[in-house]
């Protein structure tokens, strides 16, 4: 008897269908659906590259079972903004040189957005703690922290909550 199950994932505002065995992670399911903006790094919860928002909270999709995300609101990096209308974090990461190779960037921006939704005026320590599960081998982190503060300021000015 097949243990596969067809589920509906609500990703970036759209319903998408996936047929998954019980052990399929949300990371594998999302990338299988073409969401390659969700990056595959360590696959064991160490690097944060695979972070997505689930009901507004950043989670490591490599540690989340696809079936457990059914019926929940999933947002990937591409769900936050487009090249024509970038999210403030996408804009600030780009303008301030907070992305180099870019592999960590989707996870960094997702974790930052999760923080800013809860805390629009984070201290530097708040930012460092919020991003402590996200590893970057390129930037030295300083520009990333600056970009988060810059985006927070824009969001406060414009009154954006998302
Ligand atoms: S790929 Fe998920 S935390 Fe590294
Ligand atoms: S920009 Fe390369 S890992 Fe962060």
Ligand 2 probe mutation, 48, 49, 100, 109, most atoms within 8 A of CB: 100
Question: Which residue segment(s) compose the domain that 72 sits in?
Answer: 5-79
Give yes or no: residues 69 and 130 share one domain. Answer: no
Residue numbers of the chain with a pLDDT score lower than 50: none
The set of residues, in sequence order, having a beta carbon less than 8 Å from that of 152 and lying 6+ positions away, is 116, 120, 121, 122
Last residue of a domain, one of 61, 79, 97: 79
Which residues line ligand 2 at a C-beta cut-off of 6 Å?
99-104, 136-139
> Of 19, 54, 79, which residue sits at a domain end?
79
Minimum-distance ligand 1 atom for the alpha carbon of 47: 4
Out of 29, 52, 79, pick the residue that ends a domain.
79
Tell me what pLDDT residue 1 has.
Answer: 66
CA-CA distance, 125 to 108, in Å (whole number)? 16
Look at residue 2 in the predicted model and tell me its pLDDT. 77
| Alpha carbon of 109 to ligand 2 centroid (Å) | 12
Co-location of 74 and 89 in the same domain = no
User: Cα separations (Å) of 104 from 7, 18, 82?
Assistant: 28, 26, 18
| Residues 13 and 74 reside in one and the same domain | yes
The CATH number covering residue 53 comes to: 3.10.20.30
Pocket of ligand 2, candidates 97, 105, 110: which has the most ligand atoms within 8 Å of its Cβ, to mutate?
105
Number of folded domains that form the chain: 2
What per-residue confidence (pLDDT) applies to 160? 78
> Are residues 48 and 11 part of one domain?
yes
What's the CATH code of the domain at 152? Answer: 1.10.150.120
Measure the CA–CA gap between 111 and 126, rounded to whole angstroms: 12
């Amino acid at each position: 008897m097949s243990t596969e199950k067809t589920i509906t994932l609500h990703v970036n505002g759209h319903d998408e269908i996936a047929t998954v065995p019980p052990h399929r992670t949300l990371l594998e399911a999302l990338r299988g659906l073409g969401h390659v903006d969700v990056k595959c790094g360590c696959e064991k919860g160490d690097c944060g590259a695979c972070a997505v928002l689930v009901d507004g909270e950043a989670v490591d999709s490599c540690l989340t079972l696809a079936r457990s995300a059914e019926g929940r609101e999933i947002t990937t990096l591409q769900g936050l903004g487009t090249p024509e209308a970038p999210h403030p974090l996408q804009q600030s990461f780009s303008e301030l040189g907070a992305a180099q190779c870019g592999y960590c960037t989707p996870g960094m921006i997702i974790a930052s957005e999760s923080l800013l939704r809860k805390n629009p005026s984070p201290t530097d320590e708040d930012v460092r703690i919020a991003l402590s599960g996200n590893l970057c081998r390129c930037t030295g982190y300083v520009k990333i922290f600056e970009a988060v503060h810059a985006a927070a300021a824009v969001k406060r000015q414009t009154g954006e909550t998302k």
